[in-house]
Amino acid sequence: MLKARVLTAIALLCGLLVGVFLLPAWAWLLVCALVCGAAAWEWGALAGFARPLRLSTAASLGGACLLLGLVTGFGSPGAAGGLLLVPLYSLSALFWLLVAPAWLAKKWSLTNPMLASVVGFVVLVPTALALVHLRAVSPWLMLAVMAVVWVADIAAYFSGRSFGRHKLAPSISPGKTWEGAIGAGLAVLLFGFGMLAWQGASQPGGALAIAAVLVMWTALSIVGDLYESLLKRQAGMKDSGSILPGHGGILDRIDSLTSTLPMVALGIVLLAR
């Protein structure tokens, strides 16, 4: 299992780097739309959709991502504004800041097909478009944003295994602990400030604000992880899929990204304005 997990991770990283640095804008948009559609297929399983509805959900969400990307101009080189996506990014932000925490507390379920489809759109489409958007702004920026989430995930895992004593959400994900979450936050702070120092972007006056953003970023990534864990537990599934040997499904790999990437993209658009 560990060997398969490592080999899959290496293959995914190589594929990501090739896509980010070598594909033209339209091809990267198409790849992200396909990933969105594949994730929507797994989302249909979590929601208990029958096969025809799963297929239509995958096609519609993948198609929506492709269409919105083309309308926004992300199929062309140099298009990095994303202003048209502000309402969609804002909807995603409201979901993760307000709805998702309440969802976790109340342990709501995706029993209504219409609700499940709408939530799937809010969770998946902004994430895929944020991948396209951030790459259009800067491939290195996109990778740095994703690296923060990866650092949080890895640090949470090892901190939880080494020091975990107090369960974070035992009824949702028994393996997650408060110690793991604290370890993730500290690792993200070290990584974030280390990257800023490496780039020569030291801003002592704004250190507190930067730290607050990084901690919130970490918390959001944990919320995204817990949200998918809740849906899998309610659906009686260990993994969202089996397409990635040793890792499960696509949703298992992007759960923390769904709650963070659209927020970062929204912040970039607003700061640019």
> Angle at the Cα of 56 (from 233 to 112), degrees rounded to 5?
45
What range defines the domain where residue 6 resides? 2-272
> What is d(CA 46, CA 110) in angstroms, rounded to the nearest whole number?
8
Q: What is the number of other CB atoms lying within 10 angstroms of the CB of residue 213? A: 15
> What is d(CA 131, CA 261) in angstroms, rounded to the nearest whole number?
7
Give tens-digit pLDDT for 46-97.
999 999 999 999 999 999 999 999 999 886 665 566 788 999 999 999 999 9
Phi, psi of 111 (to 5 degrees): -85, -25
pLDDT on residue 81: 64
Please give the tally of structural domains in the chain.
1
Can you read off the two tokens belonging to residue 188? 């993200």
Question: Three-state SS for 169?
Answer: strand
Can you read off the two tokens belonging to residue 139? 């491939």
Averaged pLDDT score across all residues of the chain: 89
Give tens-digit pLDDT for 3-21.
667 777 788 889 899 989 9
| pLDDT level of residue 201 (50, 70, 90 thresholds) | low
Q: Which of 87-91, 190-194, 199-203 has the lowest mean pLDDT?
A: 199-203
> What is d(CA 116, CA 143) in angstroms, rounded to the nearest whole number?
30
**Contact partners, residue 243, CB within 8 Å, separation at least 6:** 38, 249, 250
Can you read off the two tokens belonging to residue 152? 């949080």
